[in-house]
Structure 1
Amino acid sequence: MSQKFELFAEDRPDQGKGASRRLRRDGKVPAILYGAHRDPRALSLNHNALMHHLENDAFFSSILTVTTGDKSQPCILKDVQRHPYKNQVLHVDLQRVLEDEEIRVSVPFHFLGENTAPGVKAGGVVSRVMNELEISCLPKHLPEYIEVDVSDLELEGARSLGEVKLPEGVSIYGGEEMLDQPVLIIHRPRREEEEETEGETPEGEVPTIGAEEPEED
């Protein structure tokens, strides 16, 4: 991982809805830090600094550093609660990590060759079935993203999860039963599919278009 993210936090002695509202009015975000076999710790973060980090996609799949006073510890972002219509973060969940314990994280896919795939050149449309993958790994193996090469896909072709090359030390959360799931499909434009369906003749029936009318006696 090339990027490093640091969050400067303060302890949050007062809790509850009223205390959280006061924090937000002061430009801060209530947060909770938990995990690593230790008690949860209530914190507050600077809202503007947090919003700046959230603009970077890598922030969601990186090992973060939380600094409180003169102590720092690694963690991952587990949940962000946003205001339904304001550009505001309401609460953040952070999970401590230990270097010898696996973590579970959702990591985005980066697709390669979408515009140059034979199926696209033949007029096909790309449909991303999955945009991210939940993985398990040690913190040192956490990838910022997972590459999916689709440059060889033909029309009506699909790339399944089992065909995706995972980085070293990374496994799919959910096991082998996930491997057959499609990640990306290149299919014909919907209009063409509908036209082909409309033009099909039901099994057992003979087309009547252009059939001669019976002669009258």
Structure 2
Amino acid sequence: MREVTTIAAEARSRAGKGTARATRLTGRVPGVIYGEKQTPELISVESRELLKEMQKGSFFSRLFTVAIGSKTERVLARDVQLHPVTDRPIHVDFQRIGKDSKIRIFIPVHFLEQEKSPGLKKGGVLNIVRHEVEFFVQPDNIPESISISLEGMDIGHSIHISAFKLPEGIRAVIQDRDFTVGTIAAPTKEEEAAPKAEAAAAAPAAGAAPAAGAKAAPAAAAKPAAKPAAKK
């Protein structure tokens, strides 16, 4: 199960562009916590701390505890607005998550033991159709990822969601079909041609070099210099 990260926050008394701008000048990012039929709460978080959590990956599928003084809120990040030039966060939205809530969330997919796939050994390609799959899940049951081993999978093999051993308490949002998550595809013409092109490029260079052990052709014998004509 996922580790819950705590983010320190401060309460904000007012909303508005001017207040938000003043908050950013202090090195903090304005934000809001909403949901669970409660009044939205205005907050700010330290810019560097928020950016560090965003850079860890899976930011929108990780549980956080936001600590506002002695009060805490369990939340999911739902939106981050970025500066159009610097790409730094300028506003963040968090959704409250109740103990008995069932949330809709994307979970990363990992393909393991790729070295044991006969198809990949033959030059096949892992074609990932879905890097993440959306699930309904209770907050305490959110897994870090779902994974499957590629051992024994040959070219042409399709990997459907039913092949995954899912943790208890989660259900795919798509229920009307056994959708494809990945395939082992045959190499493309470009990938097949690349080794041949490399071999063809190396052939002229190899042909230009003398074969190992071969003797160099003898140089043509020099003609003797002509004798000067006798004086009469």
Match of 2:92 in 1: 92
Taking every aligned residue pair, what percent have the same amino acid on both sides? 34
Q: Aligned-pair distance for 1:32?
A: 1.3
Pair 1:23 & 2:23 matched: yes
Structure 1 runs (4+) deviating above 3 angstroms are 192-195
Match of 1:186 in 2: 184
Match of 2:223 in 1: none
Cα 1:105–1:29 change in 2 (3 A) is same
Corresponding letter in the other structure for 2:55? E
CA contact (8 A) 2:32 2:43 kept: yes
Cα 1:158–1:193 change in 2 (3 A) is farther
Cα 1:51–1:156 change in 2 (3 A) is same
Q: Aligned-pair distance for 1:194?
A: 9.7
TM-score, normalised to structure 1, is 0.81
Match of 1:10 in 2: 10
CA RMSD for the aligned pairs? 2.1
1:42-77 Cα shifts (integer Å, max 9, x gaps) = 111111011111222354433211110111121111
Corresponding letter in the other structure for 1:106? F
Cα 1:7–1:161 change in 2 (3 A) is same
CA contact (8 A) 2:23 2:30 kept: yes
Corresponding letter in the other structure for 1:127? N
Considering only CA atoms, is the larger Rg found in Structure 1 or Structure 2?
Answer: 2
Match of 1:204 in 2: none
Q: Within 2, Cα distance between the matches of 1:173 and 1:98?
A: 20
Corresponding letter in the other structure for 1:140? D
Q: Aligned-pair distance for 1:21?
A: 2.2
Q: Within 2, Cα distance between the matches of 1:142 and 1:33?
A: 20
Cα 1:2–1:117 change in 2 (3 A) is same
Q: Number of aligned pairs?
A: 193
Equivalent residues in 2 for 1:138-177, closer than 5 Å: 138-174=138-174, 176-177=175-176
Q: Within 1, Cα distance between the matches of 2:17 and 2:142?
A: 35
Match of 1:56 in 2: 56
Q: Within 2, Cα distance between the matches of 1:105 and 1:96?
A: 14
Corresponding letter in the other structure for 1:57? G
1:86-139 Cα shifts (integer Å, max 9, x gaps) = 140122111111111211111111221223311101110111111111111111
Corresponding letter in the other structure for 2:170? V
CA contact (8 A) 1:126 1:186 kept: yes
Cα 1:182–1:96 change in 2 (3 A) is same
